[in-house]
Amino acid sequence: MSKTQISLENFFIFNSSFGPNEGEEEKKILLFHPEIEKNEKLKNIGYIEALVKFTGSFTLEPTSNRDVMTMKTKKFTKFFFEPEPNFWIVMTIKNPKEQKTKDNREYTEYFTDDVHNDVFSKILQRCYLNFRLFCNTFEHNMIGTDEESQVDHLRMKLDNFFMKYLVTLNLKNCDIFDLIQSIQYKAVSHLTFFKIVNLINMLISIKNLKIKKCIFLYNQEVVYSSISPDDLFIINEYMMESLFPKYFRLKSNQGLDSDRSVGGFVTENETETPQNAPKVYLYGDGKGRFECETFRMVLYNIMDVSLVMLVEDDDDAINDEFYNEIKYSIGPQLGLISKEISDNIIQIQQNVTKSQTEESAKNFIYCNHRNYRFHACFNENNTEITLSNREGKKSSQLSLSIMNLLSDLYSKDMTDELIDSERETIIKTFNDYWIVKKYFNYRSLYLIIHKNSTLIDVAEESSKLLSEIVKNVYFTN
Amino acid sequence: MSDISNFSDEEDSRQDDCALVDALSEINFNEHNIDSIRQNKLEESQEQKHEIHSDPASSSSLNFVDVDEYDYLHDSEWINQKCHVFILSTAGKPIYNLHGDEEKLNTLFGLLQALVSVVQTDDDCIRSITAKNTKFVFLVKSPLILVGVNKSNRSEQQIYNQLMDVYNQIIFIVTLSHMKSVYEKRNNYDLRKLVAGSERWVDHLLRNEKRTRICNSSFVSLTHSVRILPMESSIRDSITSTIQSNCNKIKNLVFAVLLANNKLITLVRMKNYYMHTDDLRLIFNVIDCSESFKSAENWLPICLPKFDSNGALYAHISYISDDCEACLLLMTVDQESFPILSNAKKNITEKLRRGNYIEAINTGMKDKGIKLKSDIGVSEIRHFFYKNKKNTQLLCSEITAPYIDNLDQFEKLEAMYYDLHNRIHRTSRPLKLIYEMHQHEIQLAWVTANYELYATFEPLVDKKSVIIAQVNKLLKWIRKEEDKLFMTGTHIF
């Protein structure tokens, strides 16, 4: 039997204050997936309560709502955190295992270390942030006349959301890309950029449309956004992982993907009307300001351009007028911009191919810690990895241990102070991969080189590649 | 251990162990001489029997003793300790607490026991918990549970290894078979009765966790190796043969170890029996923390866990002379051979004095580590340690500026080395090499089939060719001086 992959054992949410008395423990359970016997659920919850109590004895600081705790056993890794007071979310992951034989005796080897703490901590935090984006906080969902009906309402909301969301969690493919929490930006020429900003300002100024904020994407990469990076990341993830794939599948099923110049509203269902556009709750970067802003999120797509519009949360805001204005007035302008960008890109690509005649295969990740800008290329043909296409690619490319090493290096960057000075790390793995990490001016570059080489050669090669990559990332995109 | 048959009769050996271990604690506290130990031994063994058969209720009543349990858990100084180590029995009985009285932490021990046993019911085993900057690591080795709580940057594996050392130090005192049989008889037995007086060996093992000292000793435990007292190989050979010639007629003598200043001078062993470095490190620890050994000859039952966790050896421990602080251990399976070993030691001392070897040992003891600039002539290396993998021996350079007189700086250096060591040895993704440029230094870790090198460089040598050249010069020098710096070859009686 070969090694099993990382998978989900269970996922549950509880609040101890809902069932403080003996015999009422069941009331603590807000969500438990998969469905198991009640006592087993309570045992799981009781265990987390004990862990929290135990670890709390060794710290004077109160837990922050961003700290994810981890518990490793031989078979499982548990991740748990308290996003809101007394509400705990727990995710249990099965450690990979392999059946082996030694001296004619069968035994199971567990690979506890394969489950990267930081990567899956991020995944758990994202589960909560996704819920909050579409449903608001747990506390806000306590709607009803008495506590029992309030909790029931929350249970229903959690159930509705997570039963769909958990299916989309692809735990076996989680890696450094999830850790970086990156957003792919697309740089465009100054002129085009100003056109986009002008168009968006114009849209926001039309009082009747009630549009408050916008995100402009080209080819699913962010060109312009007027919301905080944290909110942008979580909206972006929703679009990449869920909305766009569904939309394009739908379009191609309907045979509509041939004529890309016809724009349309991107929705989760077949209707094209944005009337039931989802509500979203934005909390900004969580630093200082903690007021929630509520919007309706409408997405319009034409050619390679997508425009996310955050509209005032008003039942009448998205009406026929809105629909017509976007479709017949704004849509064609977006189409023109799309064409302008694509023409520009063809021109750049011609220049780039000229300058990159004899480059060796390179695998790299580049990220800017200040604006979440990120750029990766993980392939012998130098094709770029984007968040939407990475799934199929990497499994065949780099082993789990390399991906985990990258995550280690990235985590170290995050724990070390982000300072202005330069840092460099070069490591050589057991199977002779070299990984070079360069940190400079709040930016990191991770480079993976697979060849038998010396430290000096690798250092030279990485310096050369660094200047090329930085040049390309800065000036040609 | 088949031909060392003294312990084949389990019943006998168990009683012996009981008695001897108690006797052992007496030695530590009261510095009894050999005769009185023998006297005590008889009395103690009777007491011990009585103990085992006494009413279990008397012991379990400890659970209900009214103690002020919340003292520690509300004491910010205690909470903020960078390292805690707790030992308890699988039944939840407190055995050890690094900082303070374990008796006052009954609630905490109960919780620990519950955390372990609940997971065990699912045929699983708890390994660790990470909460923010604190790691909690569990070592469950029935009938004991050891828990390390650590707020420094130690990795889970490093904390686990430390707990393993502590566990072995306890086996060193009580032997595994004896401990198991005691718990089989009485599930809630209070092991502190058996280890009484020897907790300070565990304390000493963890002394760096209480307070960092600016010295190379933590790198010895980090790399699981021992350091060697440097001396010309011809002198070392002569010392070795002095021991051999005086001991090779003694039956049942298993090991002879000569050490000074926490460094090994020589080791002679019985054919086909090997001394594991982990066992040797436990011996070093016990010698280092027992001042009382200096004043008299000592006769100690010990268990070397890697050698045989179920059997005890008898160790004759004494210092060479008043003017030479080298300690000689002669380890036998023969309980009655104290006079013979005592005699052998006298002869060895005499011969060492006659050959002027005492002076050589004293010179070696002054050594503080390799001097990078004057010994080797490498100016860009600030500090290094080098592990010879074949014989698990460690070579360290002298600690100099900016680390020698600055505890903060040294702690940072130590933390960086621990980090390097963790990353290069991580089981799921081991590495061959790490080169790292920090703000204040450059570090290199390099693991090959034969050695591991960890080195710290001046921050301004940003040319990798300079670093490689310096490393090559260092390695070349070590190879040249190998005979003097390491103990090569094996010596048998």
The pLDDT score that the predictor gives to residue A459 is 86
**Distance (Å) from the alpha carbon of A112 to chain B's nearest alpha carbon:** 9
Integer Cα distance of B197 and B102 in angstroms:
15
Residues 438-457 of A with CB under 8 A from B: 454-456
The pLDDT score that the predictor gives to residue A230 is 81
B227 pLDDT tier (thresholds 50, 70, 90): very high
B41 pLDDT tier (thresholds 50, 70, 90): very low
The pLDDT score that the predictor gives to residue A154 is 95
Specify burial of residue B120 (Cβ count, 10 A radius: 0-12, 13-18, 19+): middle
Q: Is the pLDDT of residue B416 over 90?
A: yes
Contacts 24+ apart (CB under 8 A), A152-156: A154/A30, A155/A30, A155/A31
Q: Where are the beta strands (DSSP E) in A66-104?
A: 69-73, 76-84, 87-94, 97-102
Residues 43-102 of A with CB under 8 A from B: 43, 47, 50-51, 53-55, 57-61, 63, 67, 69-76
CATH 3.30.450.70 residue ranges for chain B: 31-210
Integer Cα distance of A6 and A174 in angstroms:
9
Residue range A212-227: average pLDDT? 88
Q: Is the pLDDT of residue B428 over 50?
A: yes
Among positive and negative, which fits the CA dihedral B336, B339, B341, B344?
A: negative
Phi, psi of B486 (to 5 degrees): -120, 160
The pLDDT score that the predictor gives to residue B361 is 92
Q: Is the pLDDT of residue B260 over 50?
A: yes
A176 pLDDT tier (thresholds 50, 70, 90): confident
Among positive and negative, which fits the CA dihedral A449, A451, A452, A456?
A: negative
Instruction: Confirm if A226 and A215 have CB atoms less than 8 A apart.
Output: yes
Structure-model confidence comparison of residues B143 and B439, the more confident one:
B143
Structure-model confidence comparison of residues A45 and A317, the more confident one:
A45
Whether A190-344 and A7-174 are alike in CATH topology: the answer is yes
CB contact under 8 Å between A426 and B125, yes or no, is no
The pLDDT score that the predictor gives to residue A468 is 76
Count how many Cα atoms sit within 13 Å of the Cα of residue B469 in the half-sphere of its side chain: 10
| Per-residue model confidence as pLDDT tens digits over B165-175 | 999 999 999 99
CATH architecture of A348-469: 2-Layer Sandwich (3.30)
Residue range B184-207: average pLDDT? 86
| Per-residue model confidence as pLDDT tens digits over A163-175 | 989 988 888 888 8
B414 pLDDT tier (thresholds 50, 70, 90): very high
The pLDDT score that the predictor gives to residue A308 is 92
Nearest Cβ partner for A55 among B126, B131, B465: B131
Structure-model confidence comparison of residues B259 and A184, the more confident one:
B259
CB contact under 8 Å between A429 and B108, yes or no, is no
The pLDDT score that the predictor gives to residue B401 is 84
| Per-residue model confidence as pLDDT tens digits over B263-286 | 999 999 998 899 999 999 999 999
State the count of interchain CB pairs (< 8 A) between A and B.
131
Q: Is the pLDDT of residue A116 over 80?
A: yes
Which residues of chain A does B115 touch, with a Cβ-Cβ cutoff of 8 Å?
47, 50-51, 54
The pLDDT score that the predictor gives to residue A28 is 93
Phi, psi of A329 (to 5 degrees): -110, -50
The pLDDT score that the predictor gives to residue A1 is 64
CATH 3.30.450.30 residue ranges for chain B: 231-365
Residue range A90-100: average pLDDT? 95
Residue range B58-86: average pLDDT? 64
B454 pLDDT tier (thresholds 50, 70, 90): very high
* CA closest to A458 among chain B residues: B464
For A365-395, letters b (16+ CB in 10 Å) and e give bbbbbeebbbbbbbbeeeeebbbbebeeebe
Q: DSSP label at A361?
A: P
The CATH number of B31-210, from 3.40.640.10, 3.90.1170.30, 3.30.1330.100, 3.30.450.70, is: 3.30.450.70
| Per-residue model confidence as pLDDT tens digits over B357-402 | 998 899 989 888 888 888 888 888 999 999 999 999 999 999 998 9
The pLDDT score that the predictor gives to residue A286 is 61
Q: Is the pLDDT of residue A216 over 80?
A: yes
| Per-residue model confidence as pLDDT tens digits over A413-449 | 776 665 666 788 999 998 888 999 988 777 788 888 8
Nearest Cβ partner for A67 among B119, B125, B132: B132
Nearest Cβ partner for B134 among A55, A75, A113: A55
Residue range A258-271: average pLDDT? 71
Q: DSSP label at B223?
A: T
Q: Is the pLDDT of residue B157 over 90?
A: yes
| Per-residue model confidence as pLDDT tens digits over B432-449 | 999 998 888 999 999 999
Among residues of chain B, what percentage have pLDDT more than 70?
85
Give the position of tokens 């709390």. Answer: A56
pTM above 0.80, yes or no: yes
CATH architecture of B368-485: 2-Layer Sandwich (3.30)
Q: Where are the beta strands (DSSP E) in B175-252?
A: 226-228
A237 pLDDT tier (thresholds 50, 70, 90): confident
Q: CA of A10: how far to CAs of A35, A48, B114, B200, in Å?
A: 9, 13, 22, 45
Which residues of chain B does A55 touch, with a Cβ-Cβ cutoff of 8 Å?
129, 131, 134, 136
Helix count and strand count (H, E) for chain A: 12, 19
Two structure tokens written together for A145: 């006349």
Nearest Cβ partner for A47 among B108, B118, B432: B118
Integer Cα distance of A238 and A219 in angstroms:
15
Q: Is the pLDDT of residue A155 over 80?
A: yes
DSSP string, A188-219: --HHHHHHHHHHHHHHHH-GGG-EEEEEEEET
Cβ neighbours, 10 Å, residue A159: 14
Q: Is the pLDDT of residue A271 over 70?
A: no
Superfamily of domain A190-344: Dynein light chain 2a, cytoplasmic (3.30.450.30)
Among residues of chain B, what percentage have pLDDT more than 90?
55
Integer Cα distance of B134 and B131 in angstroms:
5
CB contact under 8 Å between A114 and B464, yes or no, is no
| Per-residue model confidence as pLDDT tens digits over A373-400 | 666 766 544 444 444 444 444 444 567 8
The domain defined by A7-174 carries CATH number 3.30.450.240: yes
User: For residue A343, what are the β-bridge partners?
Assistant: none
Classify domain B231-365 by CATH number. Answer: 3.30.450.30
Highest mean pLDDT among A259-263, A283-287, B189-193, B415-419: B415-419
Best probe of the B interface among A51, A52, A66, A72, by most B CBs < 10 A, is: A72
Integer Cα distance of A102 and A109 in angstroms:
11
**Domain locations along chain A:** 7-174, 190-344, 348-469
| Per-residue model confidence as pLDDT tens digits over A70-81 | 999 999 999 999
